[in-house]
A and B are shown apart, each in its own frame.
Chain A
Amino acid sequence: MKSLALENLSKTYFDPYRGTQFTAVKDVSLNVEEGDFVAVVGPSGCGKSTILNMIAGFVPITSGRILVGGREVKGPGPDRGVVFQSFALFPWKTVSENVTFGPKMRGVGKAERAKIAEEYLALAGLSHAADRYPNELSGGMQQRVGVVRALANNPDVLLMDEPFASVDAQTRMTLQEELTRIWEERRPTIVFITHDVSEAVFLANKVVVLSKGNVLEQVDIPLSRPRSWDRLVEDDDFKALSNQVLQLVRSA
């Protein structure tokens, strides 16, 4: 695990059909400490996905720099693990083949991969589904695989773009609790994009509020851990922080 720094990051999209351009991200600077959990919130279209896609290396940067552990990164790489809203599991690979895809690409041998699969499927509570194909799993199970697939590759930073947006509310709360548990156990550096304010406050140590491509405010979340919905639903600090962030997002 390593730290992540964004330095004066900007992104301008060009529309070749209309000949217009649009600046989706303007001069964003942000520091994410090693082992920190940062959530990014903001209204639709404020540039959240654009920032994450630049960190992941999926879209080219217009200006600025991205540093992982002090080293500038360009293009996608295994140092930054990504969890997708669409899950993006390989349909032709079984659950355990999906989870060990990263290690396989690194040349890790079969026996070692079996161990990795066992460990991470246990972490996700999916040991019984190791040999199933993704289309035989529920949405919640699929995203558990998506999360541990990224973790099993030992990334320096874990990037998540609305990973729980396409599962039902019940499952979402379970997944959020599981993610905090995993984070508390293993302390990966996480950048978590969401438009759900209570999700951001529940999960993160720090919530970054974006507005029209700019950082509007950073709010620290000093809630104690381990966190669970049973406890936090009634918690006054949680409510106050959620309210504060919600006001910021609405004013954004």
Chain B
Amino acid sequence: MMAIYTLWGYYARWTARWPMLAAFIPFIPLIAIWAFIVWLELFPRVFLPGPLDVIGKAWELTYKGILGDYLIDSLSRLAVGAAAGIAIAIPLGIFIGLNKRAHEFSWPILLFFQAIGDIAWLPILLVWFGFGLTTMTFVIVYTVLFPIVLNTVLGIRSAKPDLHRAAQSLGAPRGRILLEVTLPGALPNIITGLRNGLGYGWRALIAAEIIVGTSGIGFLMFDARRAGSVDEIVVGMIVLGILWYIVDSWLLAPIERATGERWGLVTK
């Protein structure tokens, strides 16, 4: 019992000093279980490679330059698609959120098209645009769009009436109220939209790469399947998880801490 407390004390102290550790340590038991199952040799190695096999494979792929190239391909596709999606989604969400008529008119359409999830578009897109960048970009933009629009609308429409009134009574014209009151109030919702949108977009990209790709992490995994290289597939899966962790904790979480959490709009 004492030993556990002591260990916990060390854990708390070290993770406070190096937050990166706090992200890594929970995976140690997971990896240990994985290694243990492999060690039992219940399945042939080619079916279930161990952690060391995967690390070796990751090193090999990195060394050959494949992993780096594919990573850049995937990330740049996501960046282009997400940037376009965000550039359309936020202004559209603001417009629909502010305009009652536009809201009534567009809401059913938004819900309808949201239901036709990303990859459900692939069959028809392949007919229209073929196996290429256009198809992939379309899928990402489409996937990123809806969560951001819907959350932005929600944020704009849930603005506090008293804050709006206070700004009016202090002499703020409409445009300034939008800029100084409505938008900051909607920011936590917009960030939630970004988080969901980018998350779905990332998944849609991998799916699109599996089907239409000639490069990228999704393609790497699917290509490895053809070669029967399970360790390569696992490398791809791990890369996906790590990348999302980085996007979330290095990009989105800091924005959240500097805005909504600081202002007391969302609980920490």
Chain B nearest CB, measured from A147 CB (Å): 12
Please state if A78 and B181 are interface contacts (CB–CB under 8 Å).
no
Residues of B172-192 whose CB lies within 8 A of A: 172-173, 176, 180-181, 184-185, 187
Residues of A within 8 A of B187 (CB): 92
Residues of A within 8 A of B162 (CB): 84, 86, 88
Pick from A76, A93, A135: contact of B168, CB below 8 A.
A76
Among the listed stretches B50-58, B86-94, B200-208, B259-267, which one makes contact with chain A, having 4 or more residues with CB under 8 Å of it? B259-267
Please state if A134 and B169 are interface contacts (CB–CB under 8 Å).
no
| A86, B166: Cα distance in complex, Å | 11
* Most chain B C-beta atoms within 10 Å of own C-beta, residue among A57, A101, A149: A101
Complex: chain A residue closest to B259, CB-CB: A92
| A90, B180: Cα distance in complex, Å | 9
Complex: chain B residue closest to A155, CB-CB: B169
Known: A56-B165, A90-B181, A92-B184. A101 touches B172 (CB 8 A): yes
Please state if A101 and B167 are interface contacts (CB–CB under 8 Å).
yes
Please state if B173 and A105 are interface contacts (CB–CB under 8 Å).
yes
Please state if A133 and B264 are interface contacts (CB–CB under 8 Å).
yes
| A1, B162: Cα distance in complex, Å | 24
Residues of B within 8 A of A91 (CB): 184-185, 263-265
Query: Is A42 an interface residue, CB under 8 A from the partner?
Result: no
| A81, B172: Cα distance in complex, Å | 12
* Pair count A-B, CB < 8 A: 75
Pick from A58, A78, A86: contact of B171, CB below 8 A.
A78
Please state if A82 and B263 are interface contacts (CB–CB under 8 Å).
no
Query: Is B3 an interface residue, CB under 8 A from the partner?
Result: no
Query: Is A102 an interface residue, CB under 8 A from the partner?
Result: yes
Query: Is A250 an interface residue, CB under 8 A from the partner?
Result: no
Please state if B171 and A56 are interface contacts (CB–CB under 8 Å).
no
Known: A86-B162, A88-B162, A88-B165. A101 touches B170 (CB 8 A): yes
Residues of A within 8 A of B165 (CB): 56, 58, 76, 82, 84, 88
Query: Is B160 an interface residue, CB under 8 A from the partner?
Result: yes
Residues of A within 8 A of B176 (CB): 105
Chain B nearest CB, measured from A123 CB (Å): 17
Question: How many chain-A residues does the 8 Å CB contact rule pick out?
Answer: 28
| A86, B162: Cα distance in complex, Å | 8
Query: Is B243 an interface residue, CB under 8 A from the partner?
Result: no
Residues of B within 8 A of A84 (CB): 162, 165-166
For chain B, give the interface size range: 20 to 34
Residues of B200-220 whose CB lies within 8 A of A: none
Residues of B within 8 A of A144 (CB): none
Complex: chain B residue closest to A86, CB-CB: B162
Chain A nearest CB, measured from B234 CB (Å): 44
Chain B nearest CB, measured from A66 CB (Å): 14
Query: Is A77 an interface residue, CB under 8 A from the partner?
Result: yes
Please state if B264 and A105 are interface contacts (CB–CB under 8 Å).
no
Known: A56-B165, A88-B165. A135 touches B263 (CB 8 A): yes
| A17, B171: Cα distance in complex, Å | 34
Pick from B166, B171, B263: contact of A77, CB below 8 A.
B171
Query: Is A106 an interface residue, CB under 8 A from the partner?
Result: yes
Please state if A153 and B181 are interface contacts (CB–CB under 8 Å).
no
| A134, B264: Cα distance in complex, Å | 8
Complex: chain A residue closest to B176, CB-CB: A105
| A89, B184: Cα distance in complex, Å | 13
Pick from B169, B172, B181: contact of A56, CB below 8 A.
B169
Query: Is A80 an interface residue, CB under 8 A from the partner?
Result: yes
A87-100 Cβ-contact flags toward B at 8 Å (1 or 0) = 01111110000000
| A123, B233: Cα distance in complex, Å | 67
| A90, B163: Cα distance in complex, Å | 7
B138-166 Cβ-contact flags toward A at 8 Å (1 or 0) = 00000000000000000000001011011
| A84, B166: Cα distance in complex, Å | 8
* Most chain B C-beta atoms within 10 Å of own C-beta, residue among A56, A90, A153: A90
Complex: chain A residue closest to B262, CB-CB: A133
Please state if B169 and A77 are interface contacts (CB–CB under 8 Å).
yes
Pick from A57, A77, A101, A135: contact of B264, CB below 8 A.
A135
| A84, B171: Cα distance in complex, Å | 16
Complex: chain B residue closest to A78, CB-CB: B171
A49-74 Cβ-contact flags toward B at 8 Å (1 or 0) = 00000001110000000000000000
Known: A78-B170, A91-B265; 9 extra A-B contacts, CB below 8 A, are A58-B168, A76-B169, A81-B169, A81-B170, A86-B162, A88-B166, A91-B184, A93-B180, A105-B171
B interface list, Cβ under 8 A from A: 160, 162-163, 165-173, 176, 180-181, 184-185, 187, 259, 262-265
Q: What 3 pairs across the A-B complex have the smallest Cβ distances?
A: A135-B264, A78-B171, A76-B168
A-B contact pairs, 13 of them (CB 8 A): A78-B171, A80-B169, A82-B169, A84-B166, A86-B162, A88-B162, A88-B163, A90-B166, A90-B181, A90-B184, A91-B184, A92-B185, A133-B264
